[in-house]
Amino acid sequence: MRGVFPAIITPFKNGEIDFEGLEKNINFLIENGVSGIVAVGTTGESPTLSHEEHKKVIEKAVEIVDGRVTVIAGAGSNSTAEAVELSQFAEDVGADAVLSITPYYNKPTQEGLKKHFGTIAESINLPIILYNVPSRTAVNLEPSTVKYLAEEYSNITAIKEANPNLSQVSEIIRECNITVLSGNDELTLPIIALGGKGVISVVANIVPKEFVEMVDYALKGEFDKAREIHYKLYPLMKAMFIETNPIPIKTAMNMLGMPSGELRLPLCKMKEENKKKLEEVLKNLGLLK
């Protein structure tokens, strides 16, 4: 797990998944040098996909990629049994790894998290990427818990860390034998400087080439060049979160003529004033005329 892994959107057309659009988006990303893709994460609107749709997107993504890059399947849930089912399905259809979020809403203890992820790890042979995003789940995966999981389960190999606390990132990298991937685009560069190996990215859906260049420079220790790209893309990284993800990225992709389509409720169209801000950022970067 090293490099840029865009968390791909799920394009819709007339309320249904646009699989032709999905293929176009995936091929665009691969052609621009990404290390892999993450299908059916939060950016892919996993909360509003049916289980059948969720599985179909994973299966179709594996088919489209056809071994060219790594396919990471979003397979998390706040039900351990459901997470096991999705993870086993991902393994059966040929995904390369699974992304497993901390259970949301029911707020398990750290002991509960150990048992949750341990149960998933014992159910499959695929590498597992833990996903820590306290802002969405209301629970933080503590470094001591990450250390325990990495030591106890050989297939828990990485963590997508979306807690913006860089002190916690430092502790995980220092204490745990696990690969750290940034879960926040704007923190990718500092996390790599601390020892991280890449990013699961939202903004890379539309600027994959530039983001790959930035990460490649950073991983080679060429931080002056990486920093230049970071600050160039920084306004876009911030604009991706002026409303709840994936509202801004899907709006941007529609503006750029990329397959995206509508959002599913309870997500809805971006406010006009925010849409104008996003449009201005895209114009300033030369992405939109």
Write down all domains in the chain, each with its CATH number in brackets. Answer: 3-218 (3.20.20.70)
Q: Which of 150, 86, 151 is nearest to 123 (CA)?
A: 86
Beta-bridge partner residues of 73: 39, 98
- Asked whether residue 200 is marked as a ligand-binding residue, the answer is yes
Count Cα atoms within 13 angstroms, Cβ side, for 190. Answer: 16
- Asked whether residue 10 is marked as a ligand-binding residue, the answer is no
Cα distance between residue 133 and residue 161, in whole Å: 7
Task: Determine whether 97 is exposed, middle or buried from the number of CB atoms within 10 Å of its CB (0-12, 13-18, 19+).
Answer: buried
By annotation, the residues acting in catalysis are 131, 160
Query: Tens-digit pLDDT profile for the chain (289 aa)?
Result: 999 999 999 999 999 999 999 999 999 999 999 999 999 999 999 999 999 999 999 999 999 999 999 999 999 999 999 999 999 999 999 999 999 999 999 999 999 999 999 999 999 999 999 999 999 999 999 999 999 999 999 999 999 999 999 999 999 999 999 999 999 999 999 999 999 999 999 999 999 999 999 999 999 999 999 999 999 999 999 999 999 999 999 999 999 999 999 999 999 999 999 999 999 999 999 999 8
Structure tokens belonging to residue 243: 């409303």
Residue with tokens 């089912």: 85
Residue 289: what pLDDT? 85
pTM to 2 decimal places: 0.96
